[in-house]
Chain A
Amino acid sequence: MSTQVATLGEAHPRQYHGLLDWLTTTDHKKIGIMYLVFALINGWFGGSLAGLIRLNLYNPDWHIISPALYNQLMTMHATIMIFLVLMTSFAGLGNYLVPLMIGARDMAFPKLNAFSFWIMIPAALMLYGSFFIAGGAAQGGWWSYPPLSSLQYAPGHGEDLWILAVILLGIGSIMGAINFLVTIIDMRAPGMSWTKLPLFVWSWLVTAWMLLLALPVLSGAMIMLLSDRWLSTGFYRPALGGDPLLYQHLFWFFGHPEVYIMILPGFGMLSHIIPAMSRKKVFGYKGMMVALWAIGVIGFMVWAHHMFTAGISGAARMWFSMASMAISVPTGVKIYSWLASAWGGVIRFTTAMKFALGFIFTFVIGGLSGLMLAVVPFDIQVHNTYFVVAHFHYVLVGGSVMTLFAGIYFWFPKITGRMLSEKMGSWVFWLFFIGMNWVFMPMHLLGIDGMSRRVATYRPEFKPMNQFISEGFIFMLIAGLLFTYSILKALTQPKDAPDDPWDTQAIERSLEWETASPPPAYNFAEIPQIR
C-alpha cells in the first residue's frame, strides 16, 4: 500500500513545462481548454467567411467575390462552424466539466481524449490548406451532394481534401464519443446513481450515443464518395446504376442527429445555469432526462425531412413529417421546464442568465419555424430558400451559440479562476442578441418571398432586405470582438474567483463547484461520496 500512496503522491512522474506541457497533457481540463481555444480561433475564421458572404450579398451587382469563391466560402463557413466550432466547443466544455460533475479524476481514457483533440489539427490544416491549392476549396456545400461533388463536376482537389478531413474529424469524434460513454457509465463517484446524474452529463451521454451511431454512417458515405472520385466506382453515378439520392439518405442519417449533437449539450448547460441564477432547483429533472433521450432516439428517425422536395415517396414524406413534428414535443418539454425552473425564483440577471433567457426567445422562434418546415406543403414552399437559412441559424446561432456564451460566462470562473467582466458581458449579450435577430429574422421573409439559398447573387427585388441583413452583421462582429477582448482582459487579471462564484450553495449543485477554481490537476483531493 505504501508504494501505491507514493505513486499517487507523485501524480506526475514526468512533468513537462510550457508548450511541452500542453502538447503532452492528458488532463481533461487542459484538453478541454485547448478545445475551447481552438473553437474560438476557428470561430473567427468561420465568422470572417460569413462576413465576406454578407459583404458579397450586400449588392447583387458588386460581384466582389467570384461565384466559385463564393461557393467555397459558403461551404467552408458551414464546415468550419459545424465541425470546428460548435462540436469542438461543446466537446471542450464536456471534457472540462463531465469528469468534474461526476466526481472523477479524469476521463476513462485520458490519452484517447488527447488523441481526439490532436486529430482535429491535421483535419483543420487540410481544410484551410485547400483554399490555397489549384481549384480552391470544396465548393459543393457542406452536404457535398453528388454529382456536384463528383470528379466530373468538381475536378478540383479541394473536394478530396474536404472528404479526407471530414473522415479524420469523424474518427476523432467517434473516439471522443466512446470516451464520454465509458467515462459516464463507469467513472461516476460512489453513490452517484443514474437519477442523481447532473443534466449536463445526461446531455453528453445522449450526445455521445448519437455521435457513436451517426458519424460512422457519414464515414461510410464519404468513403463511397471518395471511391467514386478516385476509383471510378458507381455508388452515386446514375450511368452505372447508382443513385445520387442514396447519398442524401446516408448523409442526412448522419446530418440530422448531427443537428442534435450540436444542441443537446447546450440544453444540458441551460439546465444548470437557469436554476443556479434563479436560486431554485431544476424543474422536472426526470422529464428533462426523458426528453433528452426522446430527442436522442427520434432524432435518428427524421432525416428525410431534409429531402421533402427530392422526390421521395408520399408515404415517406408522411412518416418523416410526423416524426419531425413529434420531436418538437420533447423539445417543448425542455423549454417549459426551464421556464418553470425560473418561475418563483429570485433571478439574477447575470450575463449567463441573459444568454440563457435570450436563448429561450430565439430557440422558440427556431423551433416554430422548424415545426412549420415539418409540414410538407409548407416545406415545399420554402425548402432550400432563405427561410431554411433563417431557421437553422436561429437554432444554431440563436440556440447553440447562445448556450455556449451562457456556458462560458457561467463556467469561466471555474476554468480560469477569474471572473469575466459582467459589464462587458452585458454589452456582448445585447449586441449579439440584437445583431443575431437583425440578421436572421428578415431571412424568413426573404425565403417566403422566394430567394433561394446558397446564391452568390439574386434578383433585384431582394436587394433592400439583403442590405438590411448585411448591416446587422456589424453588431455580431462587434459582439465577437468584445467577447474576445473580454476573455483576454480577464486572463491578464489576478485569480480572484471564489470556488463557487454564483453562490449555488443554496440550491442543489453539481460537484464542480465543490472544488477549487481552477480545480487542481487531480480535481478532488478525495473522491466525493454521494449519499
Chain B
Amino acid sequence: MNWAMIWLFQSAQQAMQAAAEQGAAAPTRNPFDAPGSNVARLAAAESWHAFLWVIPFILIAFILLVVVMVRFRDKGDGRQPAKFHENNPLEFAWTVIPAIVVALVALHSYPVLHFMEYGGNNPAVNVEVIGHQWFWEYKYPQYGIDISNDTLVLPANQVVDLDLTSVDVIHGFYVPGLGIQEDALPGRLTNQWFKAQAGYYKGQCTQLCGVNHGQMLIDVQVVPDNEFQAWLEAHRSQPALPAPSARLHLPGGFMQYRAAQKGINQ
C-alpha cells in the first residue's frame, strides 16, 4: 500500500473523528426538524399530512368549547336554557365526515408504509444489528466486520439494510434522525432500511430491557463513501462471513425466518 493511500485513509479517519466529536456534542436530531434519511423525510411529510387533515376537527372542538364557556355561562339574567337535544343531520355529519377523513388519512399513509417496509431493494450495505443487555453488536457480513458497543458507521446516500435480532431480551433500535425504529426480538429477524445523508445520529433503546435500559445508547455515523471505505479497511480483520442468511423484503414475511435465523441467534 503506497503512502498516498495511507494518507487518504488517515485523513478520512480524521474527518470522521472530527465529525463524530461534533455530532456527539449536538442534541439528538429528530425526523421533523432535521430528517437525515429518505425514510425520515417521507415519514415527516406523511405525519404533517395527517396532522393537517386532523387538526381542523380538533380546532373546531376547541373553538366550540371556548364559545360554550363564554356565551352560555349563567350570567344570572334569567335566560332560559335551549330545549333541543338532537339534530340528525348534524349528528350524521359529525360521524360521517370524520370517518371519511380518517379513512383517507390512513389510506394515504399506506403507500408510504409500504415503501418504508419493502422499498429497500438491492442494499449496498447489509448490517446485522444484534441487541445485547446492554449494548448493540453490529455485524457487516459482506466485509467480515463485527463490532460491539461502538458507533455504527454507514455510507451516505446508499441503501442500507438493517436486520435486527437479539440474543437475550427485546430491545428497540431507535434512531430518530434517520426516522427508524424497530424492535430487536430474540428468535426473530426484523428489518429496516433507509438511505441516509452524511451526519451524526444519536438514538437509544426504546424497549425496556432491564436495569441499564436507559444507558443503552445508539450512535450512528453516516459518512461519504470514501471515508466509509477507509473505515472498512481499518476494521476489516477477518475473512468475509457467509452471506446473510435471509433477506427480509418478502411481502408479508416476518416469521418465515425463524428457522433461517438460527445461525444468528444460537
Q: Which residues of A contact B (CB under 8 A)?
A: 66-68, 71, 139-141, 145, 147-148, 152-153, 238-239, 242-245, 278-287, 309-315, 317-318, 321-322, 325-326, 328-329, 332-333, 335-337, 339-349, 357, 360-361, 364-365, 367-368, 371-372, 374-378, 380-381, 383-385, 448-459, 461, 506-507
A284 touches B91 (CB 8 A): yes
B85 touches A282 (CB 8 A): yes
- Please pick, from B80, B102, B118, the residue contacting A346 in the complex, using a CB distance under 8 A: B80
Compute how far the CA of A317 lies from the CA of B254 in the bound complex, rounded to whole angstroms.
Answer: 12
B230 near A: Cβ within 8 Å? Answer: no
A-B contact pairs, 25 of them (CB 8 A): A67-B215, A71-B211, A139-B211, A140-B208, A244-B185, A245-B185, A287-B91, A310-B183, A314-B251, A326-B99, A339-B68, A346-B73, A346-B79, A346-B81, A364-B58, A371-B50, A376-B113, A377-B112, A383-B174, A453-B206, A454-B213, A454-B214, A455-B204, A456-B214, A459-B204
A283 touches B86 (CB 8 A): yes
- Please pick, from A67, A309, A364, the residue contacting B62 in the complex, using a CB distance under 8 A: A364
Compute how far the CA of A450 lies from the CA of B107 in the bound complex, rounded to whole angstroms.
Answer: 27
Compute how far the CA of A368 lies from the CA of B57 in the bound complex, rounded to whole angstroms.
Answer: 9
Chain B residues within an 8 Å CB radius of A453:
206
Range class of the B interface residue count: 35 or more
B179 near A: Cβ within 8 Å? Answer: yes
- Please pick, from B46, B81, B87, B188, the residue contacting A345 in the complex, using a CB distance under 8 A: B81
Question: Taking CB as reference atom, which chain B residue is nearest A315?
Answer: B252
Further contacts, 6 of them, CB under 8 A, given A313-B254, A384-B181, A450-B28: A148-B209, A283-B87, A336-B61, A341-B85, A344-B72, A458-B214
Question: Taking CB as reference atom, which chain A residue is nearest B191?
Answer: A311
Compute how far the CA of A450 lies from the CA of B74 in the bound complex, rounded to whole angstroms.
Answer: 46
A343 touches B64 (CB 8 A): yes
- Please pick, from B102, B112, B176, B253, the residue contacting A381 in the complex, using a CB distance under 8 A: B176
A311 touches B254 (CB 8 A): yes
B105 touches A325 (CB 8 A): yes
Q: A280-B85, A313-B252, A450-B203 are in contact. Are A364 and B61 (CB under 8 A)?
A: yes
Question: Taking CB as reference atom, which chain B residue is nearest A368?
Answer: B58
B65 touches A347 (CB 8 A): no
Chain B residues within an 8 Å CB radius of A383:
172, 174, 181, 206
For residue A128, give the distance in angstroms from its CB to the closest CB of chain B.
22
A450 touches B202 (CB 8 A): yes
For residue B237, give the distance in angstroms from its CB to the closest CB of chain A.
30
For residue B196, give the distance in angstroms from its CB to the closest CB of chain A.
15
Chain B residues within an 8 Å CB radius of A332:
57, 94, 98
- Please pick, from A153, A285, A325, A347, the residue contacting B68 in the complex, using a CB distance under 8 A: A347
The contact string, 1 if C-beta is below 8 Å from chain A, for chain B 54-68, is 110110011011001
B1 near A: Cβ within 8 Å? Answer: no
B129 near A: Cβ within 8 Å? Answer: no
B30 touches A448 (CB 8 A): yes
Q: A343-B64, A372-B47, A449-B27 are in contact. Are A148 and B208 (CB under 8 A)?
A: yes
Question: Taking CB as reference atom, which chain B residue is nearest A288?
Answer: B91
The contact string, 1 if C-beta is below 8 Å from chain A, for chain B 76-104, is 00011111111100110011001100110
B61 touches A375 (CB 8 A): no
Chain B residues within an 8 Å CB radius of A372:
47, 50-51, 54
For residue A444, give the distance in angstroms from its CB to the closest CB of chain B.
12
B210 touches A148 (CB 8 A): yes
A153 touches B168 (CB 8 A): yes
Q: A285-B85, A376-B113, A380-B180 are in contact. Are A333 and B73 (CB under 8 A)?
A: no
Q: A311-B183, A312-B254, A377-B109 are in contact. Are A328 and B102 (CB under 8 A)?
A: yes
Compute how far the CA of A22 lies from the CA of B119 in the bound complex, rounded to whole angstroms.
Answer: 65
For residue A367, give the distance in angstroms from its CB to the closest CB of chain B.
8
Chain B residues within an 8 Å CB radius of A148:
169-170, 208-210
A377 touches B54 (CB 8 A): no
For residue B207, give the distance in angstroms from its CB to the closest CB of chain A.
6
For residue A56, give the distance in angstroms from its CB to the closest CB of chain B.
10
Chain B residues within an 8 Å CB radius of A377:
42-43, 46-47, 109, 112-113, 116
Chain A residues within an 8 Å CB radius of B90:
340
A450 touches B86 (CB 8 A): no
B182 near A: Cβ within 8 Å? Answer: yes
